Structure 1
Amino acid sequence: MDRLVIPFTTRAEFQQHLASCLARAGQTLQMFDPDFAIWELGSAATDAQLRRFLHAGGRLQMVGHDGRAVERDAPRFLRLLKDYGHLIEVRRTSQQLRQLTDSFCIADQRDIVRRFHSDHFRGEAVFDGPNDLQTSLERFLTIWIESGPGLYANSTGL
């Protein structure tokens, strides 16, 4: 498949491209968002996609500032974390990183869906564009290293 770049500006478009990114993932998913409130992690469709991905041996890494929205609105994700905790790692950002406001999901170091600011839906999806992801991959690694333990299956605290 050829590289595909798709700008978006609405919640529906973001959800559509995020679903495509999750469906295409085979080995790794790396996600960053301040609170994951609009990611629909509690929906049946997202749960099914993540279960398929994890059942096939994929690994999920998530980093956020605050986990209250996930704890409150995504009981399916909490069950997923309990069922596949060995393949999911969730971290919470340190205080120094709380000013970060972008949001992105990277699949297999090949696809990305990113919103330029988490308060808005303007962003872009890039599929089959590994060269477009270098900055975001480095950014995720830096955030990951500077973050600490977060949400667990039997405790709260993302």
Structure 2
Amino acid sequence: MDTPREQTFDSYGEYRAALIDALENAQQTVIIFDPDLRETGLESPQGIEQLERLCSQSRRRDTLRILLHSTTWLQKDCPRLTRLLSHYAHCTSVRTADVGARGWSQPFLIADDRHLVTRFHQDLPRGKSSTDASGTLAHLATQFGTFWVNGETSAVGTPLGI
């Protein structure tokens, strides 16, 4: 078993690097909560490469779940990510958080229920990356599950079937 590790970061560049690192190690599932994905770097070539690798190797229907406050930035400024979500619609989904969850302000990514990358507040770059599957990770995963069930399914990445 891996020894728990924790590393803090103070810039958006370090945050994006920690997200890519977590994606590189993900084998089965990734859940993401973010207001709009603007600071994640998932639209970057490295982000798309890791998400595509994950989606192509995982056999789970819930490989990638993304919960957002708003999909506007994703729809307007993320053509690579939108294309990936469409191509892998069988194992990815995006939802918009309901009004009750809009006050939730701690963005995070959890990979394989064991690797957490989180910013402490959505307006600041400061946060941590951790491989300890207890405490904060379990709390955020539970909170995500609750908000996911109550969220509204988004059409982002959904094939039109025309």
- CA-to-aligned-CA distance 1:2-52 (integer Å, 9 cap, x gap): 110111111111011101111111111010011111112221111100000
For residues 144 and 36 of structure 2, the distance between their equivalents in structure 1, rounded to whole angstroms, comes to 15
- CA-to-aligned-CA distance 1:35-71 (integer Å, 9 cap, x gap): 1111122211111000000000250011001011111
Question: What is the alpha-carbon root mean square deviation over aligned residues?
Answer: 1.3
**What amino acid maps onto 2:134 in structure 1?**
N
For residues 12 and 97 of structure 2, the distance between their equivalents in structure 1, rounded to whole angstroms, comes to 25
Q: Which runs of 5+ in 2 are unaligned?
A: none
Residue 137 of structure 1, aligned match among 126, 135, 141? 141
Runs of 4 or more, structure 1, over 4 Å off, are none
For residues 108 and 65 of structure 1, the distance between their equivalents in structure 2, rounded to whole angstroms, comes to 23
Q: Which runs of 5+ in 1 are unaligned?
A: none
- CA-to-aligned-CA distance 1:65-110 (integer Å, 9 cap, x gap): 1011111221000110111000101100111211111100000000
Q: TM-score scaled by structure 1?
A: 0.92
Corresponding position of 1:10:
11
Going from structure 1 to structure 2, the CA distance change for 1:87 and 1:65 (only over 3 Å counts) comes to same
Corresponding position of 2:121:
117
2:89–2:158 Cα contact (<8 Å) kept: no
Higher strand share: 1
For residues 158 and 112 of structure 2, the distance between their equivalents in structure 1, rounded to whole angstroms, comes to 28
Matched length: 154
**Structure 1 position 153, deviation (Å):** 2.2
1:88 partnered with 2:89: no
Give the percent of matched residue pairs that are identical in Structure 1 and Structure 2: 29
Corresponding position of 1:28:
29
For residues 140 and 3 of structure 2, the distance between their equivalents in structure 1, rounded to whole angstroms, comes to 20
For residues 154 and 139 of structure 1, the distance between their equivalents in structure 2, rounded to whole angstroms, comes to 25
For residues 47 and 85 of structure 2, the distance between their equivalents in structure 1, rounded to whole angstroms, comes to 13
